[in-house]
Amino acid sequence: MDFRLPWQGRPVSRRRVLGAGLAAGGAALSPGLRSVRAETPHKGSAHGGNRTVGSVDHGRNGFDPHALLTDWDTGSVSILPDGRRLREYRITAIDKEIEIAPGLFFPAWTYNGRVPGPTLRATEGDIVRIEFRNAGTHSHTMHFHGIHAASMDGVPGAGQVEPGDSFTYEFEARPFGCHLYHCHSMPLKRHIHKGLYGAFIVDPDPARHPELADAARGRLLGTQDNAQWQEFVMVMNGFDTNFDEENEVYAANSIAFAYRDKPIRIAGERPVRVYLVNVTEFDPVNSLHLHANFFDYYDHGTTLTPTHRTVDTIMQCQAQRGILEFTFAEFEPGLYMFHAHQSEFAELGWMGFFEVTT
């Protein structure tokens, strides 16, 4: 008797899963059969792995990839007796099925019901307090990339939260930069890959950087200098939809081809800043390549002068992140592509366009 599950019958290539599965075009596939059904090549789609048919129901997901680009969560702000600013956040871990490409569902573990989780944004020196509640079915943590005490590290033994429990993390926001947070429960790659991660941006405090105060103000949310910039956060991620420890879908901000199907509109005369974070599991490196233009790059975002100048491709290892700055001033209006330069990732969802307008 053969006890193999249907999807163990023969290996399924990643490309076939996406090429066929996505062409299912929004069909409601029954739970547990999603990747199986995806095995069957659909007429006309066997060679069409570079496209999707239909659209993702962002309303059902509860988050929209375009809204995520600029959705800064600056917390609930108050001033402490010592004069320092306190930012309080509430984060809840929730198990939730999300649609990552038309008709392709993924049983995610989420922070606040979205993948990536909220983009937490603070200013250097603020006190950050996060009340983390676990409404999921497994132990979880919030491990921040930043400077903090061992007891606030968000690892097993220091802030791991059992289902139904809660924990409050508190630390000073530092260093300034483009950081991230993620679950650090074991097995680590499974907990991260399921969707428990998000960007954590710490804006520089201009008063602490008098020699580069202009650059610091340009990064500080709420200032006039910063308002000139068109800022976006892109969390590069992947999804292993058939649990073979390879990703079948790649994206920035979870939804395959979201910014190809609906390009990101930018005004040509205003500069662009991208907070880029790589949380792709299973593949050691991801990248971003910008077409027809070059950018300056700040590795980890922890400096006010670029660490790379005039590059058009940047790679990031797992958990690496940085800031891209560029402008399309004096370019002709139109569609300017960006994508992972691992061509396979691009073909499996991680590509999009900036639509430059005048």
Residues that bind Cu ion (CB under 5 A): 140, 183, 185, 191, 196
Can you tell me the distance from the alpha carbon of 310 to that of 163, in angstroms, rounded to the nearest whole number? 47
The answer to whether 156 and 119 are in contact (CB under 8 A) is: no
- Using the minimum distance from each CB to Cu ion, give the nearer residue, 16 or 191: 191
Q: How far is the CB of 188 from Cu ion (least distance, A)?
A: 9
- Using the minimum distance from each CB to Cu ion, give the nearer residue, 140 or 219: 140
Q: How far is the CB of 299 from Cu ion (least distance, A)?
A: 27
- Using the minimum distance from each CB to Cu ion, give the nearer residue, 56 or 199: 199
- Using the minimum distance from each CB to Cu ion, give the nearer residue, 72 or 181: 181
> What are the C-alpha distances in Å from 112 to residues 92, 140, 333?
5, 13, 37
Residue with the two structure tokens 């797992």: 318
> How distant is the alpha carbon of residue 77 from its chain centre?
25
- Using the minimum distance from each CB to Cu ion, give the nearer residue, 161 or 346: 161
Residue with the two structure tokens 């095995």: 39
- Using the minimum distance from each CB to Cu ion, give the nearer residue, 34 or 191: 191
Q: How far is the CB of 196 from Cu ion (least distance, A)?
A: 5
Burial track 169-178 (b if 16+ CB lie within 10 A, e otherwise): bebbbbebbb
Q: How far is the CB of 236 from Cu ion (least distance, A)?
A: 20
Q: How far is the CB of 247 from Cu ion (least distance, A)?
A: 18
- Using the minimum distance from each CB to Cu ion, give the nearer residue, 69 or 183: 183
The answer to whether 112 and 118 are in contact (CB under 8 A) is: yes
Can you tell me the distance from the alpha carbon of 178 to that of 189, in angstroms, rounded to the nearest whole number? 21
- Using the minimum distance from each CB to Cu ion, give the nearer residue, 52 or 185: 185
Q: How far is the CB of 284 from Cu ion (least distance, A)?
A: 21
5 SS3 class: coil
> How distant is the alpha carbon of residue 68 from its chain centre?
9
Is residue 79 classed exposed, middle or buried when 0-12, 13-18 and 19+ CB atoms within 10 A define those classes? exposed
H or E segment and range at residue 334: strand 334-339
Can you tell me the distance from the alpha carbon of 354 to that of 358, in angstroms, rounded to the nearest whole number? 13
Q: How far is the CB of 50 from Cu ion (least distance, A)?
A: 33
Q: How far is the CB of 182 from Cu ion (least distance, A)?
A: 8
- Using the minimum distance from each CB to Cu ion, give the nearer residue, 185 or 230: 185
The answer to whether 138 and 109 are in contact (CB under 8 A) is: yes
The answer to whether 251 and 237 are in contact (CB under 8 A) is: yes
| Helix extents (H) in 41-145 | 58-61, 65-68
- Using the minimum distance from each CB to Cu ion, give the nearer residue, 139 or 223: 139
Neighbours of 345 (CB within 10 A): 23
Q: How far is the CB of 190 from Cu ion (least distance, A)?
A: 8
Q: Are strands 72-73 and 76-79 parallel, antiparallel or unpaired?
A: unpaired
> What are the C-alpha distances in Å from 224 to residues 59, 221, 358?
33, 9, 21
Q: How far is the CB of 180 from Cu ion (least distance, A)?
A: 14
